[in-house]
Structure 1
Amino acid sequence: MKSIESSRNVGPLVIALGAALTLPVACSGGSDDPRADEPALTQDGSVPEPCVAPSEDAGTTPAPDALPSVDTAAAPDADADADADAGPLDPQAQYLAERKAEAAAIPDPPTKLPVSKSGYTELQYMIQLGEKLVRNTNTHPLTAPYIAESGLTCSSCHLDAGKKKALASTFIGSAAAFPTFNLRDKGVITLMDRVNSCFMRSMNGTRLPENGEALTAIVAYITWLSQGVPIKMNAERAVSSYNDAFANPRIKALADKGAANVANGQVLYEAKCATCHGVGGEGVSGMPPVWGPRSYNAGAGNANNVQGATWVQFNMPPGGEFTLGDQQALDITAYMNSKPRPAFVENDHLPRSGVGYGGPEIVYHYGRAFTDADKATRVPAP
């Protein structure tokens, strides 16, 4: 592959860039069987909740008589005085505070799978399989062959398999925006198209067979996460219902002025990102590579400094999102994008010979056609 795609403003698909600490560790299926280790369903279709240990320093509220008394009539309003002294937030802090509030307002992901009154569990199975593929994209046998050279998964960008309430990475509400116009393709695309664009660009692979089991499962999972979100089609660009703030116009203004400082980006990267993503960008202990042959290619959204820097600012580090300044995020991203990465030649990412659209991989249509033996091997028991 020879050509490198220009840094035009491409779509908002993003891959985990290492702005500070860690990305969520992907769950591992731990089996060559593409359907092994699927979580069992409860009778009502709910997904078992993970165990969360209580905080060691969690305390109790003191009894009312243990609280100090305060003469409210005489006490000055310290908070009001502090607010008056502080004055308005600076524009950058105000912008980030607004984006942080937007992220917090995203609905919680669903916890229950749809239940069939007739006892069919095929849709539940596909949703579960979709989540497993999103978390284990580069190791699961249904998807790994299509991104054989990638060190990334869908969860490298779409944190916690897209369940996290995060701008520019959540899957919550994504299905409600499709079909939609895509500027990069200059046409209307479906959610399946958008997922396949991820495979071609952000994961440097080839398109999954359309209507095949893997692609259908991923779309079923994203659609499940979008339940209850009003349809919000976008005539400008293909984004989730909750990603309208993407990309940060303040970062774009800096980039348009040529203000990206690669040297400063290296200093920031080595101080804030290298622990998890490596001094050489290779990724440490399973964390995503951010440059080199196993990272996203030059056609990915993050290869554009504005897109990538916005994702970094909105999502990194986990637990400290919206803390990097505009210039910091731009410098870090410009440094990472100054490093070698695969070129993007579209024809190299279309289905390989013998792996066309449809074909033998269209194996999951209409669950009622399955025999009992098929269901026993493919679908988790309720």
Structure 2
Amino acid sequence: MTMKKLGVIYGGKSAEHEVSLMTAKAVIGALDFSAYDITPIYITIEGEWVCGELLTTAPSNPEELRFAGKGQADSILEFVQRASDPTTRFDIVFPVLHGPNGEDGTIQGLFEMMNLPYVGNGVLASSAGMDKVTMKQLFHQAGLNQVPYAYITHFEYDNDPAAFVEKCENELTYPLFVKPANLGSSVGITKAKNKAELEKAIDFAFQYDRKIVVEQGITAREIELSILGNDKPTVSIAGEVLPTKDFYDYSAKYVDGTTNYAIPAEVSEQELHNLQQAAIAAFKVLDGAGLVRADFFLTQDGEVYINEVNTLPGFTPISMYPKLWIATGKTYAQLVEELIQFGLERFEEKQKRAYTRSEEENA
């Protein structure tokens, strides 16, 4: 069997750098070392690219991945040269970069420019799914139900902070959730129960992004579904997040493991149908590819509200995306392999597109 050259790209100049290392460890550990030549490509927190030598074994802990490329040239140019040389070109790359510069379409644009196969969503889905404001506007076009929200840029807020706070208090109802528009893993999110907390939360969110979103809180259950595929996506069973804290924050997701999950979630057949249909609609309006996790609110009377999607969800051992597929009937290793095959499928489909005018057009 011919070994495929696979590059795993992780780390990144992002507040979610540590999460990426955990995801990379899990993904590499699930790969078949007899089928792939696996090259670690570490992007430091400063943004330097470190292309390592072939891995012979899976890392035993995330910290090992920081040094997988030690002694190699620290430059994105090495990656470009290696990926451009027919003798060393990757058959596919597997980005596990969370947050800005990895999940937002930027690195996907690099792959597209290099005509390089890669796992996961393309430029449009990645960038639109990363920006919570753009995502919400697309969901509105798709007719998906959402909680009331407001948004503003740092420039606009600095010009008249009182006006935006007043807008939030007039149009929304406490408690409010204040979020950076372009970040994931609950980084920078605060729950505000009054004006003083709202103003503090806004200042905190602006530390992470130039644009923020303020969402109205809702009394509802938090339900998540995993989506897999390209043009014919499939949806997992539903899972429920049962946070033991005030809300599902970064520590609960990745550090202390205090959050409980109900998999499968206790929902009726009709509620599950509605959730799955909404998940597919969200995937399609973003033109998703490979993988997406869709997060919903489900009220006591069965009303479904889409909260957001994650176009590069975590793959850590306690992450919801793989947990849902495992409960649906796939092993972790099967899931990783299918994602690689979907990436290759999407690349092969793109190669069939015409990039020059046809003879009929030139006639």
What's the TM-score, normalizing by structure 1? Answer: 0.23
Of structures 1 and 2, the larger Rg is shown by: 1
Larger RCO, structure (CA 8 Å, separation 6 or more): 1
